[in-house]
Each structure stands twice: as C-alpha cells, then as structure tokens.
Amino acid sequence: MTHIGAFVVTCLGLIGPWQLRNKVETGYAGFSAISSENMYFYLAASVLAAQRHVPFYEMQDRLGYKDERIYLQQHPEQRNWPPGRRFDYMSREGKRVLLSSPLTYARIHFEGILRAIFDPGSH
C-alpha cells in the first residue's frame, strides 16, 4: 500500500466511526454540524443580503443566527425536530440559495478572496 493509500485508510478509519456515532446520537451523519450552520448562516445569508440589499449581519439576525427563537418563528415545523434533521435542512436550504444565484455567490466569494489577499485584517 502506498503512503497516500495508508493515509486515506487511516483517515476513513477515524472519520467513518465518528460520522456513524453522530448519526446514531443525533440523526446527523456529517462530521460536524458547523458546516451546515456555515452554509445557512454565512454563505446563504451573504447571497440573501445581496439580493435584498441589506447588510450581511442584519440578514444573519433575520435568519436567527444568534437567536434560536427567531429561527423557530420562521420554521415552526422544526420545533420538535431532532438536531440532525435541522442541520440537514440548513445544508439543503443553504445549497438551494447558492444554486439559485450562482453569479451572486461567485461575486461575493471572489470579493472575499481579494479582501483576504489585499486587506487581511478587514471584516
């Protein structure tokens, strides 16, 4: 087995059981729910903010980023959902928003890359 093959097998051997554990415990098969929250509250929020001409942080507030009560007011059907199902929804909805406006997302992403290169301390 090559070094790369051994590395892949080792990683899968470590990550696979963790994801299985997450699925059993929470109903969420991902490695970490942070990717779902990032997709919804950051990536999709940036596109929605651009579309609705509101500041990014205001859009995050509207989505309920820091206040679960606001989130659940918009999604009352999720009140009794297990965490895994809610995170799956956030991933799907975030992807839907990005795929519905790929040029808007590409522009925002490109601007972020330029900002990181030329003004890395900015927000």
Give the length of the chain: 123
Position 5 scores a pLDDT of 67
For the chain, which residues score pLDDT lower than 50? Answer: none
Q: Is the pTM of this model over 0.95?
A: no
Q: Is 77 exposed, middle or buried (0-12, 13-18, 19+ CB in 10 A)?
A: exposed
Chain Cα centroid distance, residue 55: 19
Residue 64 Cα distances to 14, 38, 89, 122, angstroms: 34, 13, 14, 24
pLDDT in tens, 75-88: 999 999 988 899 99
Position 20 scores a pLDDT of 74
Position 62 scores a pLDDT of 97
Position 21 scores a pLDDT of 73
Position 19 scores a pLDDT of 72
**Cβ contacts of residue 76 below 8 Å, gap of 6+?**
none
- Angle (nearest 5°) at CA 30 between 51 and 99: 25
Position 1 scores a pLDDT of 60
Count of CB atoms situated within 10 Å of the CB of 97: 20
Position 122 scores a pLDDT of 67
Position 33 scores a pLDDT of 82
pLDDT in tens, 46-61: 999 999 999 999 999 9
Q: Is 114 exposed, middle or buried (0-12, 13-18, 19+ CB in 10 A)?
A: exposed
